[in-house]
Amino acid sequence: MGPQKKKTLISALAALYPEPRSELNFANHYQLLISVMLSAQCTDKKVNQVTPELFGSYSSFVTLSQAKLKDVERIIRPINYFKTKSKNLIATAKGVMERFGGEVPETQEELTSLPGVGNKTANVILSERGIVPAFPVDTHIFRLSHRLGLSEGKNPDAVEKDLRKAFPSSEWRNLHHRLIFHGRRVCKARSPECSVCSLRKICPSAGKSA
Identify which range of 49-57, 85-93, 132-140, 194-202 contacts ligand SF4 by CB under 6 A: 194-202
Our finding on whether 16 is near ligand SF4 (CB under 6 A) is no
CB hemisphere CA count around 172 (13 angstroms): 25
Interface segment toward ligand SF4; rule CB under 6 A; list 26-34, 46-54, 100-108, 190-198: 190-198
Active site residue 120: yes
List the one residue from 47, 67, 148, 175 that touches ligand SF4 (CB under 6 A).
148
Number of residues that bind ligand SF4 (CB under 6 A): 14
Q: Which of 11, 147, 172, 179 binds ligand SF4 (CB under 6 A)?
A: 147
DSSP for 78-100 reads TSTTHHHHHHHHHHHHHHHHHHH
The region, left, alpha or beta by phi > 0 then psi within -120 to 50, assigned to residue 20 is beta
- For residues 65 and 94, give the distance between their C-alpha atoms in angstroms, rounded to a whole number: 5
Q: Are 6 and 94 in contact (CB under 8 A)?
A: no
With left for phi above 0 and alpha for psi between -120 and 50, is residue 65 left, alpha or beta? alpha
DSSP assigned state of 16: H
Q: Is 48 exposed, middle or buried (0-12, 13-18, 19+ CB in 10 A)?
A: middle
Q: Least distance (Å) from ligand SF4 to the CB of residue 184?
A: 12
Confirm or reject binding of residue 199 to ligand SF4 (CB under 6 A): yes
* Residues in region 105-124 near ligand SF4 by CB under 6 A: none
Cβ nearer to ligand SF4, comparing 132 with 166: 166
Catalytic residue among 87, 138, 161, 162: 138
User: Residue 32 CB, nearest distance to ligand SF4 (Å)?
Assistant: 29
Q: Which of 117, 51, 102 is nearest to 79 (CA)?
A: 51
| 138 has catalytic annotation | yes
CB of 202 to ligand SF4, least distance (A): 8
Residue 10 as a binder of ligand SF4 (CB under 6 A): the answer is no
Residues at the site binding ligand SF4, with contacts judged by CB under 6 A: 147-148, 186-187, 192-194, 197, 199-200, 203, 205-206, 209
Query: Which residues are the active-site residues?
Result: 120, 138
